[in-house]
Amino acid sequence: MSSWITVKPLQTVLCWQLLSTVIITIGLTACCSAEVAVSALLGGMVSVISSAVFAVIVSRHQGFTAGGTIRTALRAEAVKITLIVLLLWLVFKVYEDVNAFAFIGMFILTVIMHSMALFVSEKINKN
């Protein structure tokens, strides 16, 4: 079965984003109100969804020219930023009980995690 996301660093970063969102949401559920936990979950999911769309666009890239690679990267980044803006607006518009600190804090944490894809190796370690 083939994956929609074929770039290993992006797969790894998406897993870390999702895992951190779930763990922090569970922790906030235990120590804070439901509104805080839901806000953190929504903030993380905005970043996870936009990163997943970015990864799918990058994974579909077929060309090997520098210009084609740059166009794909710019297109993927433009779609990601547009999606982030729309999802942030949607959450603030629809969810009236949003805790802005938890929402934006979790969003920023997961966005920073996305930039860590540069440090993930493509190599598969076989010991």
Q: 104 in a domain, yes or no?
A: yes
The model's confidence at residue 118, banded by pLDDT at 50, 70 and 90, is low
Tell me what pLDDT residue 85 has. 96
What are 99-110's pLDDT values in tens digits?
Answer: 999 999 999 999
Do the domain assignments include residue 124?
Answer: no
Task: Tell me which residue range forms the domain holding 20.
Answer: 8-118
DSSP letter string, 84-125: HHHHHHHHHHH-TT--HHHHHHHHHHHHHHHHGGGGS-----
Cβ(28)–Cβ(103) below 8 Å:
no
Place of tokens 């860590």: 116
Task: Report pTM.
Answer: 0.84
Reference 11, options 111, 112, 126, 122; nearest CA is 122
What pLDDT is recorded for position 1? 33
pLDDT of residue 101: 93
Q: Which amino acid is at 83?
A: L
Does a structural domain hold residue 31? yes
In a domain, 2, yes or no: no
> For residue 78, is it within any domain?
yes
Please count the structural domains in the chain. 1
Amino acid at 78: A
Whole-angstrom distance, CA of residue 61 vs CA of residue 117: 17
The answer to whether residue 126 sits within a structural domain is no
Q: Is residue 38 part of a domain?
A: yes
Predicted confidence (pLDDT) per residue in 8-46, tens digit? 888 888 888 999 999 999 999 999 888 999 999 999 999
